[in-house]
Each structure stands twice: as C-alpha cells, then as structure tokens.
A and B are shown apart, each in its own frame.
Chain A
Amino acid sequence: MSHLLEVKNLDVKFDTDEGRITAVENISLSVDQGEVLGIVGESGSGKSVTAKSIMKLNPGNTSYNEDAEIILDNENILQFTSKQDLKKIRGGKVSMIFQEPMASFAPAIKIGAQMVEQLVIHKNINKDEAKSISINMLKRVGIADAEKRFNQYAFELSGGMRQRAMIAMALSTMPKLLLADEPTTALDVTIQAQVINLIKDIIKEYQMGVIFITHDLGVIAQVADHVAVMYLGSVVEKGPVNEILKNPKHPYTKGLLQALPDINNLDAPLSPIPGNIPSPLDRPTGCVFRTRCPHHNPEGKDGKIEMKLIEVEPGHWVDQCGIQCGQNG
C-alpha cells in the first residue's frame, strides 16, 4: 500500500550572508492515513523546516536537492511551481497549526471571516455555506457559544480557546494531512490535556494523517504512533513510539530521556547532554552528534562513519554510528 505522504532523501539548505546552511539533510519519512508521526528534537534540529517543506513554505533563499521527493497523493510537491498547484496543497490537502495561535490569526479580522475566506477559496462554495461549516466546526472542537465566537477577534479569546479555533480552521477544509507544530507548548497542562484529547478524537473521526512536532517526549508518548528523533537536521532514530521510548538505541535519544524530569521517579538524577548544539554553519562531518556523544567510539569521533539509518528491529531504524555508541553506554 502506498503511503499518504512520503518524504524521500530530502535536503534543505538556506543561503545566508555567512554561507550556505544545511538545515535538513537526507531525511526520509512516511505517514499513513489515520496515523500520527511525531517528530522530536531540540530547538534548531530542523523539525519545523521539515514540516514547512511539505507546504513549500520555506523562504526564498531555500534550495532543495534535485533527487528529493515529497510525495503526497502520488504527486511530487517539490515539482510544484505554479500558484495554482501550491494553492491545492496549502490549506487544501495540507493544513498546519502553529504554536502561538495569536500570531497565526490576523488580529484585525474577525475569526469567522478568516475561516470563511479560506473555505471559499478551497471548497468552491458560497459564503453562507462556509459560515455554517465554520460554526459547526467551532462547535465540534468544543467552543461554547460558537455563533458569538465566530464574530469575535482573536484577542477576545483565551489561549486554549484560540488554539481550538485554530484547529477548527485547519480542519474545516478537510485536509488529508495535518501538520501540527508544537500545538500545545504554549498551553497550561490542564488545557494541554484537553487539546491533545481533541486532536486524537478528530484524527480518529476524519482519518487524516498527522505530523506532530514537539520537544516534549511526554506529549509524543501520548499522541504518536511512530516517532522520528531529529538532531541538527538529521533523523538519528525512528520507529514505533513504544520501541523508541522504551528501548532507545541512539545515545541522543537516551540522553533526551535521561534529561527529562519524571514525576514517577524522583530519585533519578537529571543528567544533561553535555555541550551545546553546534552552529549549523559548522555542522560536523560524519555523525552529527559526535561532538556531544558521551560514548563515542574512535572512528565515530573522527567523523569517519557516515550517517545511515539501519533497521535494528522491524520498523526501528537507528543511525549506524549511534548503534555502536549505544552499545558502549
């Protein structure tokens, strides 16, 4: 069966005044219908750049490699150049929700008007139909007084409600793929729990594929079916969520888990990953994690081992340098 979305060998580079930056290198991912792929990693690991590539939303100084493919519904998005084609993707087949909904809604336009506008563009319907779809969607995401909220501005809503409205807007065009970029990071835990449950219900109901980006491994454990762990633009480990969190192989994944305060195990010391993420301008050759790896083997340390994912268990892929290091520690 073919996947809903397949990303193959994607490199993303940015041309800047200081030189060419590799933001993402050789990434391959796939998402099926009704499945949630979680992407975790620290700031600067390339999570958001990967997601934005799927909508070709990266800025003008971006270049993609020629043999890369992003296939959605049997079409290669990277080949799209005309506005017409891109419009089908952006907000049509693919929708995105962001971390800070205040920044994503236009502040001076009513929420309802923004929802109607995109529906009219994508669905070829008139304004009245669009309005009733929007109000139903607002009700579906648990907003009380949907008719009243429809005529309000983003600043009149609380943080949790704004995020619900954002989700309603993203879903109203019935996209096949939803990109959620840190959608719960700015929310309080009780509201986060509400929003996570809402997203899970909706995925089940509409059978869409989801890419869920977060730095919070707890959130990943709650929503994702598969996980890809990213570090400095590369996927260092990927597989089913249970495997990755309970049986991590790569020293970076292990490090992330050890740095996380666990409320059920208060005696465990918090161990930070030593050092800092290197600047993408001097990205290490070979294994990208080698400058911070606590268990590096001599060859990995010299950068002689190339990055390559190897399948260690069915569906569980680990970078080859990380497999050796992981065995040492």
Chain B
Amino acid sequence: MGDNLISVNNVSVNFDYQENFISKKQKIHAVNNINIKIKKGSFFGLVGESGSGKTTLGRAILGANKISSGNVIFHDDERDYDLTNMNKQDLKEYRKKAQLIFQDPYAALSPRMTVRDIIAEPLEVMKITNSRQETDERVRDIAAKCRLNIEHLRRFPHAFSGGQRQRISIARALVSNPKFIVADESVAALDVSIQADILNLLKQLQSELNLTYLFISHDLSVVAHVCDVVAVMYLGHIVEMGPSRELFKNPKHSYTKALLSSIPSIDPEKRSEAIELKGEIPSALNPPPGCVFRTRCPNPGIDCKGGEITMGLTEVEPGHWVDQCCVL
C-alpha cells in the first residue's frame, strides 16, 4: 500500500429518483463498481462526456457524496482513513487534507469578500491557525506561490480576470496544506492562453508542495498533456485505464478510440476522420445490460450486442486495463 494515496474499492453511487410524487421511486446508477488506486504524487486524469459520472466519483472520493457500496481509503502517513466509516473528528481532519478546485471561477468566489478573506476562510473555519497574524502569513505565502500580487489581497473578486480568479480559487484550496486535490474541470472555462498558464501552475505546485491530483476533464488533449495515469469513464463505468501515453497512443476500447478521433485536428488537411458515434449517452436510470457502450459501439461483437458480456476490466499490458467486452 506504500505508494498509494487513495484506494477506491468497488465503489458504487446511486441516487434515488422520483419523477413526481405519485410515480415509482427509481435508482440512478451514477457510478458503478469502480476500482482505482491513485499513487502519491501522481496526476490522475478522469475523462468522459457529460453524464459519465466523473464528478460524482470525484465528490465521492472527497466524502461529499454518499457512497452506496464499496469503500474509499485515504492512506495518510500515520494512519488510513476509511471514508465510509468515519466519525466527525476524522472527517474534519480529512477535509484539511483533501480539497476541491471548481470549474467556474466566476461562481466559486463570493463577490462580497476580499481576496484575503476568501483565501483565509478555510483556515478560520477549520481552526488551523491561532492568530490573525499567523493567518495573514499563510495567506500571503500561498498567494505568492500561486503568483497573486500581495497588493491584490485587499480587492474584491470582480476586479479580476478569469485566469486570476482561478488562481485565487487554487490558493484557497491549497491554504490548508492539503495532500490531495480534486480539480473538477478547472480549466474548462478559460481561454487557451490562460488555460496553458493554469496548467503550468498546477504542475509547478505539484512538485513544490508534494500534491496528488485527481484531474477531471472532458478535454482529452489537456488530460494527455498533464496526466500520468488516465481513466476513461462512460455511463458510470471505467471502460479503459492506463498510463496516459500508452493509453492515448494505443487505445483499445472502441469508446476511447471514438473519443480520440473526435478531437478536432488542428491540421486543416486532416479533416473528418472522426469515428462518428451515433446517438447520445443513454440515461443512467436504465443503463443497457451487459456492456454499457454497446448501444453506440461502432463495431460490436455478436455477444456484446446481446448484452451477454458483463462489465469488467482486464489487464492487456502492465497497468493498461480495458473493459473485457472490447478485448474479446
């Protein structure tokens, strides 16, 4: 267990759903039987379309969503935290160690608080610092690390551009000195030149502060650039997982292949080689039995078309796991 920070074991998350008060209660299977290990110091990428369960899984790992079955273990230096079985005191400790960076830097910052107060709030709420002076010191320290101007701390968020706001959000997430960060679509709302800046900053902070990231994104080129390990999700399942370069160079699952071919190429001469997927992602209320991707799969086998093959990952190369339906 030595080099893993997070172990996710057979985790499923279901939500209750009732269309209106007289209709039957149904279950939404948002995340199904997920197993992942996140190594210390790694940049773990989670990709997939909207509705694939990326965010739900990220929130489950942070303890912000209830886990329906399975467990998540956070391996700290001295002890392990079991997220499914935690008392209030443990949860408070865990919150200091695992933090979230949001997608929209315009919605994530309170317009009525100064930047200093925004960054200091976690310290005050979690009672990490003992005096105002100590708080100020830590705020200034983390602001400098996130390349924010010290003079800017007295201003309000409206005075800042999208990129600067995202740096404020990052500073706020890092001020409690966490070990694990979930970055949920943290660069999706930014222009390309600013996106590059924030990605570089995240990388730099990772080595400076020994951080481990779970990086959730729908943008495969971004994930390919920053992540060491990538898991591809579809309708609540991981369909392929492996070292990022191996996975992008040598994708095995038809869904990963289709996703990769759908990225618009920057070369105008390479037009439209996309493997076009028909239709849209099915509803998580009644996912297709067997392989969840078979309703859109461009080349389904006879067995998987009938839904006779159950979902499950098989190791095809060391560390490269693919859902068995696409391996057969």
List residues of A whose CB falls within 8 A of some B CB.
Answer: 42-43, 158-161, 188-194, 196-197, 200, 215-219, 221-222, 224, 241-242, 245-246, 255-257, 259-264, 266, 270-273, 276-277
18 contacts between A and B (CB under 8 A): A42-B193, A158-B280, A161-B280, A193-B277, A218-B266, A219-B264, A221-B264, A221-B265, A221-B267, A224-B268, A245-B267, A260-B221, A260-B266, A261-B199, A263-B263, A264-B265, A272-B193, A276-B164
A9 to B312, CA, bound (A): 61
Chain A nearest CB, measured from B294 CB (Å) = 16
Contact A261 B262 (CB under 8 A): no
A222 to B261, CA, bound (A): 13
Q: How many residues of B contact A (CB 8 A)?
A: 42
Chain A nearest CB, measured from B188 CB (Å) = 10
Contact A256 B218 (CB under 8 A): no
Chain A nearest CB, measured from B202 CB (Å) = 11
Cβ-closest chain B residue relative to A214: B264
B254-270 interface with A by 8 A CB criterion: 258-269
B125 within 8 A of A: no
B271 within 8 A of A: yes
A259 to B199, CA, bound (A): 11
**A159-B50, A197-B276, A277-B161 are contacts. A263–B200 as well, Cβ < 8 Å?**
no
A58 to B272, CA, bound (A): 35
Indicate which residue in B222, B265, B269 contacts A218 across the interface (CB closer than 8 Å).
Answer: B265
Chain B nearest CB, measured from A265 CB (Å) = 10
B126 within 8 A of A: no
Contact A43 B191 (CB under 8 A): yes
- A contact residues around B209 at 8 Å (CB): none
Contact A270 B199 (CB under 8 A): yes
Contact A191 B196 (CB under 8 A): no
**A191-B280, A241-B268 are contacts. A261–B191 as well, Cβ < 8 Å?**
no
Chain A nearest CB, measured from B245 CB (Å) = 7
B176-209 interface with A by 8 A CB criterion: 191-197, 199-200
Contact B161 A257 (CB under 8 A): no
Contact B268 A218 (CB under 8 A): no
Give the one of A42, A257, A263, A273 with max B CB within 10 A.
Answer: A263
Contact B220 A276 (CB under 8 A): no
- A contact residues around B194 at 8 Å (CB): 42, 272
- B contact residues around A276 at 8 Å (CB): 161, 163-164
- B contact residues around A260 at 8 Å (CB): 192, 196, 221, 266
